[in-house]
Amino acid sequence: MRYCESPYSYQRRKTREVVVGDPARGGVVIGGDHPVVMQSMLTCDTMDTVACVQQTLELTKVGCQIVRITAPTVKDAANLKNIVAELRARNCLVPIVADIHFKPDAALEAARWVEKVRINPGNYADSKKFVIKEYTDEQYAAELTRIEERFTPLVRLCKELGRAMRIGTNHGSLSDRIMNRFGDTPLGMVESALEFARIARQHDYHNFIFSMKSSNPKVMIECYRLLASRLDELGPDWNYPIHLGVTEAGEGEDGRIKSAIGIGSLLCDGLGDTIRVSLTEDSPNEIVVCRDLLDQIPVLTVRADDRTLTPSTAKSHSLLASAAKNPAWPFDPFSFERRLTPEIALNDGVRCGGEQTVRVVVTRGAWEKVSPKIREKDDVKPEAIYEELNVYEIDPTADFELNCETQLVTVKDGVGLPAITAFRLLATRLKRLGQNNPILLKDCLNFDPTPLPPNVALLRASVVIGSLLADGIGDAILIRGEPGAGQSLRLAYNLLQAAGCRSFKTDYVACPSCGRTLFNLQTVTARIKARTDHLKGVKIAIMGCIVNGPGEMADADFGYVGGAPGKINLYVGKTPIKFNIPEGEAVDRLVDLIREHGKWVEPENGETAEQLSRPITR
């Protein structure tokens, strides 16, 4: 099973074209040879036509190519007619997508007015009850028959009206049927989508795409890889386009890092035909990040069809092609497992490899700038200086020898390969030599004379380091693309937390707002962070409604979920504990709940985690 042609060079996955609207009248084509399409979602009430039109215009102004609007009820879906009519009257031709959960009748109404409908197989005609039940084959088949009866009318209507569809599974909202048969797994997500796709294909309807979203970048990457592999196994006519996204990524630097790890790594492997960066921020910010992220992919990849090869790069391409044909890749793409290495000492008191956490290394120049500001109680601090390490720098395109597995290794600067390719090739060649040496990852191997802007440095480092960590490669990391010493150190720790390798601060799963949201997500998220961001190793989910709430909170310690207008439900894991708390009291009650479960500590001297690290600056 393979999910792409090669883990070493870029070759975009070949897909059929899916048409969203009329391309001659502002519609877009997803897949084929067309550029990756950028999309976002409105945050306002779908019944507020004026606000929906205004937000759509703001999104198109910054380059959004598809706009999604939630339609939680038939009434909301019917109002899409007014929204679309007003947009067209203003000569705004951007395709509109209706986002549907739970309500097949709302999907049928929405399909009359918009160019595309997104359905979630986990809750289309299903309610989430978290019921544990063993299904016999006959019972499971009966459930599929029931789903087919509910889903077929939408398929027929979309085919009749020329509408597109997204079959979008979410890690947080798999049906009880799927959960009991496949578990809360990437395989369950893929099979959930394929069940609906088979129904669509029975009616000769093919104008649809897939998505496999999760708030955990590593889970999301595994899901999309497995999907691509399964589609390839099913045959060449299953070449449907793919929409990429990390759901509930959050805000600010953390949201961008998570999105770059998940979306960027898959784009570098040739997967993805349309993307959305889900931020708990104003929607236009998502498009800015989408564009910045897409701009990095050509810089971070080797093109398999490069026709401008020098003798040295031709040799590298030949080596990469040979490595790609070998069935033993340097990592298991479908099940995360950290590469097995011996444990070694980096310096006095700091070890890496083996079962040790992934360590943070800095250059001597960065150390000299940040060390005077480091305090004993700080969690964000350098753990080794690169120039003082016993590290063997290797050109993975050339022959090399190693005498022992306890030698720390890295890729030599200036090898002429992008970092992801170079480190994957290094891991492959070590494996063939029978060596398991710990690897120090670098975010870049070449330096531009002009320093990268901070937003670009952050995305590049996240894609490179995050991709390799998701592969299970890497025992220490060094970030040099961000020139600010303090910021590069902070970025390293934030990246390791987003990749699930370390936990030095509170982790938040925060959904982007939409018309279903029952409170102001940006305001509430800021309020919760102000009270809780000093809690190390605690994960808090902040969800605007119950669509993905309980499921996406499966690996969160606590959840804050909109239950009704002005009312909040509090969760421990995915178990609801307190219901219908007035919003004005809910943050205090959340703190009480954390305290009741032994996870609360008082901030030192009243300081938050953010304040404790503030002295480390650029």
pLDDT tens digit sequence for 265-292: 999 999 999 999 999 899 999 999 999 9
Amino acid at 80: L
Instruction: Flag whether pLDDT at 34 surpasses 60.
Output: yes
User: In 10 A of CB 330, how many CB atoms?
Assistant: 23
Q: Is 576 in a helix, a strand, or coil?
A: strand
Per-residue pLDDT of 369-415, as tens digits, reads 999 999 877 889 999 999 999 999 999 999 999 989 899 999 999 99
First to last CA, the chain: 45
Residue-level pLDDT at 307: 57
Asked if 614 contacts 370 with a C-beta cutoff of 8 angstroms, the reply is no
CA 8 centroid distance within chain: 21
User: In 10 A of CB 340, how many CB atoms?
Assistant: 9
Using pLDDT thresholds of 50, 70 and 90, give the confidence band for residue 618. very low
CB contact set of 59 (below 8 Å; sequence gap of 6+)? 40, 42, 67, 94, 283, 284, 287
Domains and CATH numbers, the chain: 17-296 (3.20.20.20), 331-498 (no CATH), 507-610 (3.30.413.10)
CA distance 255 to 229: 28
Using pLDDT thresholds of 50, 70 and 90, give the confidence band for residue 109. very high
Asked if 127 contacts 175 with a C-beta cutoff of 8 angstroms, the reply is no
DSSP per residue over 396-452, as a string?
TTS----S-TTSEEEEPTT-SS-HHHHHHHHHHHHHHTT----BEEES-SS--SSPP
pLDDT, greater one: 353 or 170: 353
Per-residue pLDDT of 595-615, as tens digits, reads 999 999 998 765 544 443 443
Instruction: Flag whether pLDDT at 451 surpasses 70.
Output: yes
Q: List the strands of the sheet with 539-543, edge to edge.
A: 507-510, 539-543, 558-564, 567-572, 575-582
Instruction: Flag whether pLDDT at 128 surpasses 70.
Output: no
- Among candidate residues 543, 529, 537, the one with its CA nearest the CA of residue 574: 543
Long-range contacts of 317-323 (CB under 8 A, 24+ apart): 317/9, 319/397, 319/425, 320/6, 320/8, 320/9, 320/421, 320/425, 321/6, 321/9, 323/6, 323/8, 323/425, 323/428
Asked if 475 contacts 362 with a C-beta cutoff of 8 angstroms, the reply is no
Average per-residue pLDDT in the chain? 90
Range 23-44 average pLDDT: 96
CA distance 556 to 550: 10
Residue-level pLDDT at 581: 93
Residue-level pLDDT at 616: 37
Per-residue pLDDT of 70-83, as tens digits, reads 999 999 999 999 99
Per-residue pLDDT of 483-516, as tens digits, reads 999 999 999 999 999 999 998 888 888 777 677 6
Instruction: Flag whether pLDDT at 89 surpasses 60.
Output: yes
Per-residue pLDDT of 215-246, as tens digits, reads 899 999 999 999 999 999 999 999 999 999 99
- Among candidate residues 13, 70, 453, the one with its CA nearest the CA of residue 274: 13
Instruction: Flag whether pLDDT at 552 surpasses 70.
Output: no
Using pLDDT thresholds of 50, 70 and 90, give the confidence band for residue 129. low
